[in-house]
Amino acid sequence: AQTVTQSQPEMSVQEAETVTLSCTYDTSENNYYLFWYKQPPSRQMILVIRQEAYKQQNATENRFSVNFQKAAKSFSLKISDSQLGDTAMYFCAFSNAGNNRKLIWGLGTSLAVNP
């Protein structure tokens, strides 16, 4: 069975600094998707970044980038120049690339950005 593990329940970072959130997963599939979602206090789930397993290049979205290590089954999220609005729960998720698109979720990392 596929699993997603986020080993850091809570993290904090100073404003303008860089922080990395860890995620590891387990699967026997070769083709799949990986995601990072952000959930601020408003409760809305917001997609931060998506990575397709067949792409070797790491995905980036402005201040957010990933370090995708397929062999190690690792998918960490780096937030550069942290802002107060980045304070949120961050969830890592996995999805097969087939017709069944169920997401498998990690338990989340609570990130606090301090002024």
Near other proteins in 13-42, by CB under 8 A:
33, 35
For other proteins, the closer of residues 82 and 91 by Cβ is: 91
The encoded tokens of residue 100 equal 């069944």
Q: Is 100 in the site for other proteins (CB under 8 A)?
A: yes
Question: Burial level of 48, CB count in 10 A (0-12/13-18/19+)?
Answer: buried
Q: Is 99 in the site for other proteins (CB under 8 A)?
A: yes
Q: Is 44 in the site for other proteins (CB under 8 A)?
A: yes
Q: CB atoms < 10 A from the CB of 37, how many?
A: 21
Q: Which of 16, 47, 84, 112 binds other proteins (CB under 8 A)?
A: 47
For other proteins, the closer of residues 18 and 60 by Cβ is: 60
Residue 38, CB-side half-sphere exposure with 13 Å CA sphere: 18
Q: Is 107 in the site for other proteins (CB under 8 A)?
A: yes
Q: Is 64 in the site for other proteins (CB under 8 A)?
A: no
Q: Is 11 in the site for other proteins (CB under 8 A)?
A: no
Instruction: Identify the CA nearest to 110 among candidates 90, 93, 92.
Output: 90
- Alpha helix segments (H runs only) across the chain: none
